[in-house]
Amino acid sequence: MNAALVATLLRGSLSSNRWRSLLAVFCIALGVALAGAVNTLHASALDEIDRAARLLAGTADYQVKGPRNGFDDASYAPVALHPAVAVASPVIELDAPLPGKTETVRVMGIDPFRAARLQPGFLAEGSSSRGDDTPTLLDANAAWLTPAALARFGAKVGDEVVLGGPKGEVRLEVAGALPALDGGGPLVVMDIAAVQFFFDRIGVIHRIDLRLVPDVPREAALRDIAARLPPGTALTRPDEAAMRTAGLTQAYRVNLTALALMALFTGGFLVFSTLALQAARRRQEFALLRALGLTAGGVRAFLALEGGLLGLAGAVAGTVLGLAASRAMLERFGYDLGAGFFSGTGNTFAPDASSLAIIGVLGVATAAAAALAVTRPLASLDVAQALKDRHVDLPSPPGDWSWPLGLAAGAAVAAFLPPAGEISVGGYLSIGLALAAAVMAVSPASRFLLDQVPASDAPLRTLARAQVKSLPGHLSAMVSGIVVSVALTAAMAIMVHSFRVSLDGWLSGVLEADLFARAAPQGDAVVFSKEAQARMAAVPGVDRIDPIRFERLTPEGSTGLLTVIARPVDAQLLRGFQADPPAVPPRNGPLTAWISEAAVDLFGWKPGQDITVPLAGSRVTFRVAGIFRDYSRTWGAILVELADYRALTNDTLANDIAIHLAPGADIVAVEAGLGRIVAQVPGAELHDASFIHDRALAVFDRTFAATYALEAAAILIALAGVTSSFAALAWSRRREFGVLRHLGLSRGEVLRLLSLEGGAAGIIGAFLGLLAGGAVSVVLVHVVNRQSFHWGMAIHMPWLGLAALVGSVVLLCALGASAAGRAAVAREAVHAVKDDA
Amino acid sequence: MRRAAAFLALIVSAFLTHAADYAPVVPGLKLAFPKDFGAHPDHRIEWWYATGHLETPKGPMGFQVTFFRLRNKAADANPSRFSPTQLLFAHAALADPAHGKLRHDQRIARGFPALAETRTGDTDVFIDDWSFKRVDGKYVARIPGDGFALDLVLAPTQPLLLQGDAGYSRKGPLPSQASGYYSEPHLAVTGTVKIGAQSIEARGSAWLDHEWSSQILAENAVGWDWVGLNLEGGAALMAFRLRDKEGSTVWASATLRRDGKVRVYAKDEVRFTPRRTWRSPRTGVTWPVEMGFEIAGEPWVVTPMMDDQEMDARGSTGTLYWEGAVTATGPGGAKGRGYLELTGYSERLRF
């Protein structure tokens, strides 16, 4: 077959099936776009983390890193004096709010004399060479800003910029720009002593950057340096920053990619059913080609090429779409895909070409594989027979229950497999098997279901029943498409609804106070001092306040993150956190902590166990009193009594404050009184519980908006597929319709027959899809979610939504079938019968 | 007087407005040792400045080891351990005619316990691994620099030389423009100089200045010339002048100790006259590297060991000055060796 002929045939086939081809391309494009966007967002985020870490570290080989709230700066001198250390540069880091805005900026307090020996970029333009009134390096109010930070403030060198701090606004003069650190994001660099003072963090540092003396034995030196460090700090290399983040986000990323692959394979399945029907319709065409001398292999190659071209178009369109979408998301939302892992600036766009290529090839391969699956029976067709014969069916799937039952059993077993790391391999395998079982069940299930429908005298119903029950191959392929789409949509809907209802209930319990003063969302620079807390407690109408303090650290011997939530703990709070058991042990026993479900999974901790946590530079042992639910973090958390935390750490600051009103207090007056105190802490907010509750749910809905959009797309694709399938089917049944017209059926009756058939197919598909979707949602909620995100939840059925889903699928199937049939019965019955001559 | 290097001048001027906050040096100052060997942390500025000539198997060399301390009262309100209440600077240079220009390096740090300190009680100053300390009556200097290192012991051979009025040294027309100031001339030097990986035995003679003040510069002074000479036969001579923008002398003084007798010369008796200049090909600055001066009408001339002893550390500390080993001739065939310092010859320096 020469190239010109191939091109002609391709042009003919693709243009005569323009809409179906477009649909197939769209399916593939969607999967490729989603996978590509997830991959690009993640690659960009990691790239920025990596570049920023390397840039800011300069020539440092190692970094001493401590918990989120920092560590005692008394550790600095012993480390700096270690003979293997050539340069030690202490750093304090905070995220400070821009007053009146929701944005924060990273404040880095350094000793410029030390930092400049590791990274000369810290002493850049503007730090010298201006008039006598230029603030010197050590002027407490002088700040050096990276270009990104200057842009964020809309400021230039010499201007004043204002940051929110715990003691009020911090007014700084921009003494210079740091263009060499541009890749570090929006940074405000100040003297370390000034940051400690203005942000009320005397005695605290977050990092010590180290350059080691060359030619000393590294291992021994590092062990020795580590021995001089307090518990809770660790020695790491700057180039490990991105790797560690990648480790933390692995589960999250794999899950999103799995979602994308599901879209891709759904697309592949729809390509298959589209091409199958198309190929069936073109059976004569292929027979003619064979008669004209084309080999069976040639026909298959031709179809694979056609499928591959569709896949290629989809992959190219999907890659472009994915890049555009990730770019737009970066600009609007930053890297944070809703899980709070990244707080980058979003100014790095670093698509990973090799990953994108793999995803694209996967898209092409899916389409080509679908095409090949279609061509298998076609290639072996009997040419003479096919030239005469108008029978256009695909081979029917096996009609018995052995396959679906076997696959379903496999799915059930797979759900109990242990996860590989944080990746729920068993869960995804189980989902795949469950979907396959549902597809294989289409044929026996239609027979079984229609057997339950009593035979009717009405000829149309009898005809429709016969047609669907015998379930020819093309109808089976179409119903399978409906099953897969409905199953995935229903599963996602059930999971998201279960999550939302669970979160709603949890929020109601956790937000048990009347009002909340919150500094936490505005970075960690803003906190409530003990004095501010006392003034809030003294506001008339306030019954009591519960200060809440967060710390984030890495337990020894682990690389994971652990959040410490310190707040007054009582039985009511424990019930709110859905703790088990929700009771406070007597205070005279050992120190107690409640651990989140994630902490159980990630650190292997159990109730009754003694756990060791590095707090304020010493190892503290807590007895695990119970497990609580934490929908805020996918990493581990422990809940401890504030009084214990304060006694252990001498840290009296608070990130958030829960305020309980006295009975009968005038909430408006109390809010006004508290508001005056909160207003003195720039960046902090005061809200009532319902506001925070609603805002949390709004964030949830926004995060899952992409999921809703995907669901809608899946339904639309499935329905478009159904309509297109019916059109092909109706066309191929012209002769049958002609006969029916001859036998006296009116055109309307033929169309009604088609509607009935479509409706019946829709009902069967929707029913099986719901069953499979229910099973998949159980796996998603109890296996995938638990293993990947480490939180438990109960299944809640969105009945109304599911009913709407089933109703619209059945209705649209019926309407689609009849609309598609309209064209087929339009011609005169005589023609249709003659057509057979 | 001895020389806050030029970068300090601006820091000092930045603090001038608050001069009253710092302990003043007042007439009638009485020095007490060993206490005054140590730091005077309440004064604005202080330095230990050792310069000397070395004889080595590689030929004659000159060296400079300087530690500065600068008090920053503005930081006192901040209780942070890092609060920069004291700033420490150290400069070191090695003049080697075979190399043709200075090898030099510097350290800067905020005062921080155990890492960078100027201790009281006796001479004991250090920034990381750079140190200058008085041990058993001798000064021990350890300076591991970039590309060179100095490891020297400086042993006194003469009594202390108290400058000005028993250590109270006037720097300007106002009595408060003064410093506490003593010198140790004719220090016997032994030790090693390291250039690259090569260790070189060295011995020679040096001069140490230790000076502290809270108000060192008259307001119209832009720079100064200073010379300190170990003369043959054990005599010692120090002379300085402060210059204004036009190059006129704002203040000057000199001290000559000969045969144990000290003579201090007033402003009118000291006159500096540049004899030969050298233009730096790197910075374009013209330095009067061969300097003549008269003390009570008697002419002296100092000639540099090499012309290029320019110290350019503007990239890190904003400093540009000339600090050079010189040989001297004077009246009656007097000969000696020492150091000449020239500051304020470039554009007005900034920090």
Give the C-alpha separation, B345 to B285, whole Å.
Answer: 7
User: How big is chain B, counted in residues?
Assistant: 351
Contacts of A137 in chain B (CB under 8 A): 351
Residue where a domain terminates, one of A683, A708, A725:
A683
Q: Which of A75-89, A519-533, A790-804 has the lowest mean pLDDT?
A: A519-533
B146 in contact with chain A, both atoms CB, cutoff 8 A: no
Using a 10 angstrom Cβ sphere, with 0-12 exposed, 13-18 middle and 19 or more buried, the burial of residue A799 is exposed
Residue A226 C-alpha, separation from nearest chain B C-alpha, in angstroms: 19
The contacts of residue A434 (CB under 8 Å, 6+ apart) are A407, A408, A411, A487, A772, A775, A776, A779
**Is residue A793 in some structural domain?**
no
Euclidean distance between the first and the last CA atom of chain B, given in angstroms as a whole number: 22
Answer yes or no: do A191 and B84 touch at CB < 8 A. Answer: yes
What's the confidence (pLDDT) of residue A707? 67
Question: Both A223 and A245 in a single domain?
Answer: no
Position B3 scores a pLDDT of: 41
Residue A499's CB is within 10 A of a number of other CB atoms, namely 20
Residues A40 and A171 grouped into a single domain: no
User: Residue A456 pLDDT > 90, yes or no?
Assistant: no
Dihedral sign, Cα of residue A354, residue A360, residue A361, residue A363:
positive
A15 and A135 in a common domain: no
Who's near A374: CB < 8 A, 6+ residues apart?
Answer: A272, A275, A276, A279, A303, A307
Judged by a CB distance cut-off of 8 A, whether residue A74 touches chain B is yes
Pairing of strands A542-553, A160-165: unpaired
Q: Which of A236, A271, A302 represents a domain boundary (last residue)?
A: A236
d(CA A160, CA A172): 6
Does residue A123 or residue A347 have the better pLDDT? Answer: A123
**DSSP state, B92?**
E
Q: Is residue A585 in a domain?
A: yes
Tell me if B351 and A128 make a contact (CB, 8 A cut-off). yes
Mean pLDDT of A34-55: 77
A80 with B115: Cβ contact below 8 A: yes
Mean pLDDT of residues grouped by 10 in chain B (351 residues)? 42 47 86 95 93 95 93 89 92 92 90 95 95 97 94 97 92 86 96 94 96 79 90 95 87 93 93 94 92 94 94 70 94 94 69 30
B112 touches A: beta carbon within 8 Å: yes
- pLDDT at residue A341 is higher than 50: no
Q: Is the pLDDT of residue A79 over 50?
A: yes
Which pair of structure tokens corresponds to residue B130?
A: 């750079």
Q: Tell me if chain B has a CB within 8 Å of the CB of A192.
A: yes
Q: With beta carbons less than 8 A apart as the criterion, state whether A10 and A306 touch.
A: yes
- Residues of chain B neighbouring A134 (CB-CB closer than 8 A): 350
* Residue of chain A with shortest Cα separation from B83: A193
Yes or no, beta carbons of A129 and B350 under 8 Å apart: yes
Same domain for A188 and A70: yes
**Which one of A111-115, A192-196, A247-251, A550-554 scores highest in mean pLDDT?**
A192-196
Q: Let me know whether A672 and A531 are in one domain.
A: yes
Residue A562 identity: L
User: Angle at Cα B42 formed by Cα B38 and Cα B43, nearest 5°?
Assistant: 85
Please tell me whether residues A51 and A89 are part of one structural domain.
Answer: no
Q: Is residue A223 included in any domain, yes or no?
A: yes
Confidence of residue A518 (pLDDT cuts 50, 70, 90): confident
User: Average pLDDT, whole number, for chain A?
Assistant: 81
A547 preceded by cis ω (within 30°)? no
What confidence category does residue A133 fall into, taking pLDDT thresholds of 50, 70 and 90?
Answer: very low
Q: Please name the residues between 78 and 97 in chain B that touch chain A, using a CB distance below 8 Å.
A: 78-84, 87
- For residue A175, the enclosing domain spans 62-236
A73–B114 CB contact, under 8 Å: no
Q: Where residue A575 falls among pLDDT bands split at 50, 70, 90?
A: very high
Q: Are residues A175 and A136 in the same domain?
A: yes
Higher pLDDT, A759 or A49: A759
Domain assignment of residue A548, yes or no = yes
Check whether residue A224 and residue A248 sit in a common domain. Answer: no
Of residues A607 and A30, which shows the higher confidence score? Answer: A607
Contact B306, B290 (CB under 8 A): no
Q: How many CB atoms lie within 10 A of CB A585?
A: 12
Task: Give the closest-approach CA distance of A524 to chain B in angstroms.
Answer: 19
**pLDDT band at A76, cuts 50/70/90?**
very high
Q: What's the pLDDT at B13?
A: 45
pLDDT (0 to 100) of residue B122: 96
Looking at residue A394, its pLDDT comes to: 58
Note whether residue A713 is domain-resident.
no
Q: Which of A113, A130, A196 sits opposite B110 (nearest CB)?
A: A113
Instruction: Residue B320: name the closest of B341, B291, B292 by CA.
Output: B341
Superfamily of domain B6-342: AttH-like domain (2.40.370.10)
Partners of residue A140 in chain B, C-beta under 8 Å: 74-75, 78
More confident residue, A543 or A761: A543
Distance from B314 to chain A by nearest Cα, in Å? 10
Residues of A in contact with B84 (CB under 8 A): 138, 191, 193
pLDDT at B342 (0 to 100):
92
Closest CA to B309 of B97, B147, B54, B152: B97
Mutate to test the interface with A, among B82, B83, B85, B222 (most CBs of A within 10 A): B82
Surface-to-core class of residue A354, CB atoms within 10 Å of its CB (0-12 exposed, 13-18 middle, 19+ buried): exposed
* pLDDT confidence of residue A778: 93
- pLDDT over threshold 60, residue A20: yes
Assess A213–B contact: CB distance below 8 Å, yes or no.
no
Assign A378 a pLDDT band (cuts: 50, 70, 90).
low
Same domain, A114 and A253: no
* Domain-ending residue, one of A646, A666, A683: A683
Please check whether residues A37 and A87 belong to one and the same domain: no
Q: Which of B303, B273, B45, B26 is nearest to B169 (CA)?
A: B26
Q: What pLDDT digit, counting tens, does each position of A282-329 carry?
A: 667 777 777 777 777 777 787 778 888 888 988 999 899 888 888 887
Residue A745 is assigned to a structural domain of this protein:
no
Quote the pLDDT of residue B5: 44
Nearest Cα to Cα of residue A308 among A361, A380, A379: A361
Give the per-residue pLDDT at A470.
67
CA Rg value for chain B: 19
Q: Do A192 and B80 make contact, defined as CB atoms within 8 angstroms? A: yes
What is residue A335's predicted lDDT score, i.e. its pLDDT? 54
Question: For residue A631, what are its two tokens?
Answer: 């929908």
Query: Does one domain contain both A150 and A251?
Result: no
Residues A105 and A159 in one domain: yes
Which of the four pLDDT bands, split at 50, 70 and 90, describes residue A140? confident
How much is the pLDDT for A543? Answer: 93
- B291, β-bridge pairs: B274, B302
Q: Is A142 on the interface with B (CB under 8 A)?
A: no
Question: For B116, which residue in chain A has the nearest alpha carbon?
Answer: A77
Cβ atoms of B336 and B328 closer than 8 Å: yes
Considering its fold, how many domains does chain A have in total?
3
Cβ distance A603 to A557 under 8 Å?
A: no
Element (H, E) at B117: strand B116-118
Lowest mean pLDDT among A42-46, A115-119, A428-432, B323-327: A42-46
Would you say residue A589 lies in a domain?
A: yes
Nearest to A491 by CA among A412, A408, A435, A425: A435
- Residue whose tokens read 């040639």: A298
Q: Are A513 and A660 in contact (CB under 8 A)?
A: yes
Model pTM?
0.78
pLDDT digits (tens, 9 = 90+) for A807-830: 988 888 888 777 777 766 665 544
Q: Are A96 and A525 in contact (CB under 8 A)?
A: yes
pLDDT of B81: 93
Q: Between the ranges A26-40, A431-445, A714-728, B186-200, where is the mean pLDDT highest?
A: B186-200
Chains A–B, number of C-beta pairs less than 8 Å apart: 69
pLDDT-derived band at A273, boundaries 50, 70, 90: low
- CA B119, B125, B127, B131 dihedral sign is negative
| Interface with chain B: mutation pick from A72, A81, A136, highest number of B CBs within 10 Å | A136
Residue A250 burial by CB count (10 A; 0-12/13-18/19+): exposed, middle or buried?
A: middle
Does the pLDDT at position A17 exceed 70? no
Q: Which of A195-204, A366-375, A457-466 has the highest mean pLDDT?
A: A195-204
**pLDDT top residue among B188 and A242:** B188
Instruction: Evaluate whether residue A612 is within a structural domain.
Output: yes
